Amino acid sequence: MIWAFLSGDNPDRSLVILYVFYGVFGGLAAGLSYNALLGLAPQYYPEKTGMASGTLLLGFGVGGLVLGSIVNVLNGHIGINNTFLALAIILTAVLFGGSFFIKLPEKDLEKEKETTEETQTSNIKNYSLGEAVKQPIFWLFCLWNIFMSIGGLLVMNSAVPIAVHFGIIAILGLIVTVFNGVGRLLLGLIFDAIGRKNAIILNSVFMLVGGLILLLGATTGNPAYIYIGLPVIGISFGGPPSLFAGGLNAFFGPKNYPTILGTATYSVAIAATIGPLLSSKLQEISGGEYTTSFLMIIITSAIAITLSLTMARRTKADKE
């Protein structure tokens, strides 16, 4: 949180200072804590990795929503500089204090021995990072995450304008964020219930259905389809973070999972760069309409389905 303190203490609010301390240091701090906690949570619940990852990611999403609201209130009362300074002090205290409670789970030696024997019997391999990146499944999974994230961002970044455009109350656009958080936990639970392959395929199909519903609303002009489609996309967009985290753990083993997750998470940065640019370009091409954006959601989710089916076939072939 050093970035917030220095940004808040700068009366000129220099863009360079803002980019460096907010963008670089703030982004680095968020990424480090994000990957560290996601790497730790499944170790406490090895049989429920989807639930563990989904719950943590739900908290991550809700935290951003709550913090954003607090920042808006503080900014209106004390100004942006003092808001940065307040965040620096409060968040540093919270993170520093909370760090004392973050530790590896204590393992019973006998239980650990039994787990090791079960792992050897079931031929589960713990890949190193170097071994993981050499596996086609690693890159297929990253590509799946990119296309799913791009499809979701086409709606998530414009949820309020979409609602207003179709004559729906603007608050529905904000509620989509809540569905996004619910989707993280829901898909994590589905991951535990039906397995990674089926959960990944289901999530991809769900986004395709959401895109089709939205397209139907755009072509017919019936806002009822938009009421249904936006939450569906919100839920399906919440799935990739949980399935990506749980899937990497299941595919490549828990031993080097934090390192592999941290590397694979760069795919999210690619999607976060392409998604908004693509959304803006599609809006420009369509003259402010959303039909082209909804079509693109269908295209990206169709590609994601193809990738998920390919991953399922490769996993089955590897076992055989």
**Domain range list for the chain:** 2-99, 129-319
> Is 277:99 a contact under the CB 8 Å cutoff?
no
Tell me the pLDDT tens digit for each residue of 51-105: 877 877 777 777 777 777 788 888 888 887 788 888 888 888 887 888 787 777 7
pTM score, two decimals?
A: 0.77
50, burial (CB in 10 Å: exposed 0-12, middle 13-18, buried 19+): buried
Of 138, 121, 120, the C-alpha closest to 129 is: 138
Domain 129-319 class in CATH: mainly alpha
Q: Give me 98's structure tokens.
A: 């909370």
Q: Give me 265's structure tokens.
A: 């998470």
Tell me the pLDDT tens digit for each residue of 1-46: 444 444 445 555 567 777 777 777 777 777 777 777 777 777 777 7
> Is 299:147 a contact under the CB 8 Å cutoff?
no
What does the alpha-carbon distance between residue 26 and residue 31 come to, in Å, rounded to a whole number? 9
Question: Where do we find the tokens 């500089």?
Answer: 81
Q: Give me 233's structure tokens.
A: 């996309």
Report, as an integer, the average pLDDT of 152-174. 83
- Average pLDDT over the chain reads 81
DSSP element (H, E) containing 135: none
Q: Give me 280's structure tokens.
A: 């803006």
